[in-house]
Amino acid sequence: MGTLVTEYLKEKGYGVNLLRIDKSNSYIFEDCYIRANQANEIAKVSAVELYVEIHINAGGGSGSEVCVTGKSEVANQYAAKISTSLSSALSLPNRGVKTRNLIVLNNTVMPAILVECLFADSYDADVYNSEVIARAIVNGLVGVDNSNDGEWKFGWNRNDVGWWYCNDTKNKYYYTSQNGWKEIDEEWYIFDSRGYALQNSWCYDEEIKSWYYLDSNCKMVRGNKGKPLWIWIDSGCYAFNEHGQMYCDCITPDGYRVGINGEWLEI
């Protein structure tokens, strides 16, 4: 699987480092630490945008999912797109992005995701096709082949990967992460390095030192002055002020305690 993903990415002009550890472990999870360390060594001499680990799931479930540590807008964004792409390509349920405490995710210095393509011990196995899966992962990572060939319209455009905003149809200019936050029709959005609007993703603003969240419509979630907006995200409940900033390590204006990571604390 990894070999096919590498091949397809290189066909599109992307650089890939393939890490494969095929030996018996001398201690539990040794291979996980080795892969993470190898990736970190590569990152010392090369720019690495994303660490991707590909697995086949087990446990009797059904569908595709992608695991992340939580609050990396880059990892979350890629994870959501790959999970959607796999689900569509295999006609399986989309289990979405899952926050997990995993060795390879916690020990890599770059954004990291772990892809669970389908379940080997359920009817999912009937649709297993390594080429289809590899293509779906690549499409989630970099977009489908014809994503830039169709007619562009001024404003919002969409393909199988996500939404982007074109501000010049003649030259096909569009917003990217270099443009920072953009206010469009009184709502705030932010885009990744490829130009796709962040969706169902966390975003950390280094300048302001605050966390934000982009919802299923790619909009920054915001509360009102003195009245936070509370949202359940994965297993935690978080509050946001009128500027979209997540409350953390404080008492919110409506009287609730939130921890250093922003989660509501039951006291």
Domains of the chain: 2-142 (3.40.630.40), 149-220 (2.10.270.10), 222-267 (2.10.270.10)
Cα 112 to Cα 244: distance, rounded to the nearest angstrom: 25
User: Each residue of 147-197: pLDDT tens digit?
Assistant: 445 678 899 998 767 889 999 988 889 999 899 999 999 999 999 888 889
Percentage of the chain lying above the pLDDT 70 cut: 94
Residue 147: predicted pLDDT = 46
Cα 23 to Cα 189: distance, rounded to the nearest angstrom: 46
User: Each residue of 83-109: pLDDT tens digit?
Assistant: 999 999 999 999 999 999 999 999 999
Q: Are 1 and 9 in contact (CB under 8 A)?
A: no
The answer to whether residue 239 scores a pLDDT higher than 90 is yes
pTM: 0.64
Q: 């390879």: which residue's tokens?
A: 104
- What is the average pLDDT value for the chain, to the nearest integer? 90
